[in-house]
Amino acid sequence: MARPKKPAGELRTDSFKFRLTPTERLQIEKAAHKAGMIASEYARAQTLKGRVVVNEHRTLDHAVIDQLRRIGVNLNQLTRLAYVREKMPSALPQLCDDLEQFLMQELPDYGSKSRG
């Protein structure tokens, strides 16, 4: 299925060209990347609106992902143990507290989202 065509007033048919030093171009491209945009979108927003709204997308590094995986494995083991023994392991509350602390440290928005 093809993408719907834009109305004539929304088509970008004109271009505007200006010269930059390599350093200036790199600076614009880095700022655009940080904002999650391509350079032309970034330059257009800066020119027409005087500002760019940056939507920060924080990604977790491999060490954080590995730590979350390890915590998940421990939590799964304790859950299975609780099911088999029909009793909550004493380590479970501490593991949940550690997980909560870790999430709040690595994901600053976690506390505000999880508590509503």
| Average pLDDT score over the chain | 80
Determine contact, residues 45/37, Cβ cutoff 8 Å.
yes
Residue bearing the bigger pLDDT, 112 or 22: 22
Helix (H) or strand (E) holding 100: helix 92-106
pLDDT at residue 115, as a whole number? 45
The radius of gyration of the chain's CA atoms, rounded to the nearest angstrom, is 24
Sequence-distant (≥ 6) Cβ neighbours of residue 59 within 8 angstroms = none
Residue bearing the bigger pLDDT, 20 or 63: 20
- How many percent of the chain have pLDDT more than 70? 84
Phi-psi category of 22—alpha, beta or left, where left has phi over 0 and alpha has psi -120 to 50?
A: alpha
Sequence-distant (≥ 6) Cβ neighbours of residue 64 within 8 angstroms = 106
pLDDT in tens, 21-47: 999 999 999 988 888 889 998 898 888
